[in-house]
Amino acid sequence: MKWAKMIFKNLFALGSILIASLLILIAVSVYVWQTTDEGRLPAKTAVILHAINNNLVALDINIRPPQIVTGGRGGGGNPLLREDLYIPVQGDVQIPVRIYRPQGEGPFPITMYYHGGAFMEGYGSINTHDNIIRSLSARTNSVVIAVGYRLAPENIFPAAVEDSYTAILWAVNNADTFNGDIERISVAGDSAGGNIATVMTLMARDRGGPPLTSQVLLYPLTTFEDIPLESRDIYDSGYYLLSRQVMYLARDVYAPDELMWSHPYTSPLNADLSDLPPALVITAEFDPLRDEGEMYAERLAEFDVPVRGTRYRGVMHGFISFYEIMQSGSYGLQEMSSFLRQANEDNLQIASPYQLQIRQPPQGFDRVRDQTEAFAIAAYLLGRTGLDLLNQ
């Protein structure tokens, strides 16, 4: 029996050493991933970026088309109705739209959502942003219409914005079919879609279109012109999910004529911004588009447009798309949902004069949860990497 006890003790000690070594390896790895030339990242941001940039996780989303769905994690439990269809935009051309709406008679507020993806085929679609549009409908108790506008290089400017504006007119003319309220229409979008959402407010004003209730812009691209922007210089590598190379490629294929770059419907940063609806502009600290988004918010304020601007620290471009695994992303989705609800209820309270709000990384219990999940994900990634090496 003594030898059995001795073996058990040795195995226990060996197991303890292995576990301790593994924990040290995980901690050191996360620390290394957090350390960048541009600043120290929160653990969750660092782990997610490491996984994406090293192709350790797939970013494509497998969409299945149930007719009744829920809002997703944190989006509420009431079932939503979903409809995928094509609408005419120009001649025989049709584009896809996806509609999420609450059950009931309504009428419900309408949000037109424009997905990001550098204006180019293969970078973004209504499918890649399904989690946002679905949850947004549930959280705001409104109809959300995601617009599959035509993409470059096959379709250059102004095809995307013309499609997007035509979709608003279609929504107005067909609101009865989905219980929408044409008196409460907002626009929202992220990145390239944020650019399009800004342009929708300009086009609606310029063309005497339907009055828009509000605009929500997530890390929007607001200029195609070559102007000094520190964030574009600092975060241009692509590590933070958007590179200078992709931005130049997007400009080359979407707006191939240099005369297009200064057009207000490509570069709203320098447009006449008077008489536009109240705006929420959300930016990310580690994002090449940060500065121009914040400059756009400032210019809206200069034109007396009520605007709320929030910079989220410790996160990268596109962070709200990760709201199901990033607490900061969940905060961002909550903020945009709250803003839309208040706008729909005509209850927006926006401080004046304008001042950019800085949202700190998660604190307290949320920080502990993010840290714990980050280390768990890191353990998985290291294990997967080890298995891949063994199989080579």
203: CB partners within 8 A, 6+ apart: 161, 165, 209, 265
The radius of gyration of the chain's CA atoms, rounded to the nearest angstrom, is 23
Q: Determine the Cα–Cα distance for residues 102 and 144; give it in Å rounded to an integer.
A: 10
Burial of 342 (0-12, 13-18, 19+ CB in 10 A): middle
Whether 129 is catalytic is no
Whether 181 is catalytic is no
From 263, 317, 330, 370, active-site residue:
317
Contact 370, 43 (CB under 8 A): yes
Whether 287 is catalytic is yes
Amino acid at 154: E
Give, in order, the Cα–Cα distances in Å from 210 to each of 6, 204, 233, 345, 386: 81, 6, 39, 18, 57
Strands (E), 91-209: 93-102, 108-114, 143-147, 180-190
CA angle 254, 258, 259 (to 5 degrees): 105
131: CB partners within 8 A, 6+ apart: 61, 72, 321, 323, 324
From 287, 328, 337, 370, active-site residue:
287
Nearest alpha-carbon partner for 109 in 346, 349, 348, 350: 346
What is the DSSP pairing of strand 357-359 with strand 307-316? parallel
Partnered with residue 188 across adjacent β-strands are 113, 216
Ramachandran angles phi, psi of 114, nearest 5°: -115, 115
Other CB atoms within 10 Å distance of the CB of residue 295: 18
From 191, 214, 267, 337, active-site residue:
191
Nearest alpha-carbon partner for 188 in 41, 341, 4, 294: 341
Catalytic residue numbers? 191, 287, 317
